[in-house]
Amino acid sequence: MVERLIVVALFDRVDLLDVTGPPEVFSLVQREMDESSGYRVVLAAPSLEPVTTSAGVRVLPDVTFASVADRRIDTLIVPGAVTIGPGREVRAEADPVVVDWVRRLAPSTRRVASVCVGAHVLADAGLLAGKRATTHWTTSAQLAKEHPDVVVDADPIFIRDGDVWTGAGLTACLDLSLALVADDFGQELALRVARQLVMYLKRPSGQSQFSVPLQHVSSSRRVDELRHYITTHLSDPLTVAHLAERLHLSDRQLTRIFTAELGATPAAYIESARVEAARNQLEAGDDTLERVARANGFGTVDTLHRAFRRRLNTTPAEYRNRFRTR
C-alpha cells in the first residue's frame, strides 16, 4: 500500500490536544486493519528543538518543515495557539514562520486540515479565501473580522470545502480525524476506530458546537431527569400538563422552574431538543421529511419547516443538502 504521509505542524504554545489527538486516531487505524494502513504521521517544526505546548508539556519534533518540503504530503494538519488578554479575551495567534511554511507546503499536499484555531493559520496563508470554514467559537469573530474573504461558520464541529477541512474546538479534532479516516477507508473502519476511542462514531459535520444539553445546565435532579425523559420521548406529545404531572407540579410551577433553571420555557426547550434530533437524522440518512417530522414529535412537515426556520433560519431540505454525510 502506498504510504500516506501525514504532517502535523508543531510550534511553541500550540494546544497539546490539537497535536496529539489526530495521531492517536490514525494509529488506531493500523490496529483495526489486517494490513498496513499506509499512514505515517510526523511532527514537523521550524527546527528540531523541543517545543513547549500551551499545557507546558515539551514535545520533540520528528522533522523540520524544510525536510518535508520536497515530499508528497497526503495530509497537512495545522493546530492552533491562543493568547489570553487582560480581560480574559481569547485571541488566536499565527506564527508568521509557520504561516509561511504552510503556504509553501500546501501546493504539494493532497488535503489540508486545521484543528481549532489553526484555521487562522490557514487563513493567513491564503488557503481559506472564498471558502466556508469553522474554528473555535471563541475566535470566530476574530477570524471573520481579519479575513472578510472567508465565510466563517462557528456552529459546525468541522467543515469540508474541497480539499480544505477546518475543525472546531479541541476535542472536535477527534471527530475531524475520524472523518478523514472515513474519507480514506469508509465509515465501517471509522466506526471500529471510534469504538476503540470509546466515543460516539462521528458527530456529523453539521452538528452544532452548542448542543441542547450543553446550552442548558440545570442544578435540580428532577429537572435533569425530566430533560432525559424529554430526550427519550421526543415523538410523544410532551405537553406542559403531561410533564408537570410527572413532577407533581402545576403547569405554572413547571414553567417557572424551567425558566429559572434552564433559561427557557418547557415548550422552547422541547422544540430545541426536537430540532437537534431532526438535524442528526437529516445528516445521517435519507428518511423522508414526513418520517423525520413524525419521529421527532413535529407531527407534520409544515411544523418541522416552521421550527427549522425559527431555530436555524433554513429549511429541513436545505439543511440536509448542506450537511448530509455522503
Residues annotated catalytic, as ranges: 116
Residue 125 burial by Cβ neighbours in a 10 Å radius (0-12, 13-18, 19+): buried
Backbone angles phi, psi at 76, to 5 degrees: -105, 115
Of 220, 300, 210, 214, the closest CA to residue 253 belongs to 220
Please report, for residues 44, 70, 230, 289, 305, the alpha-carbon distance to residue 302 in angstroms, rounded to integers and kept in the order given: 53, 56, 22, 10, 5
DSSP state of 233: T
CB contact at 8 A, 61 and 112: no
Backbone angles phi, psi at 109, to 5 degrees: -115, 135
CB contact at 8 A, 14 and 84: no
Please report, for residues 57, 177, 179, 193, 261, the alpha-carbon distance to residue 158 in angstroms, rounded to integers and kept in the order given: 26, 10, 9, 18, 31
Backbone angles phi, psi at 285, to 5 degrees: -150, -170
Q: Which residues, 6+ apart, have CB-to-CB distance to 128 below 8 Å? A: 119, 122, 147, 149, 150, 164, 166
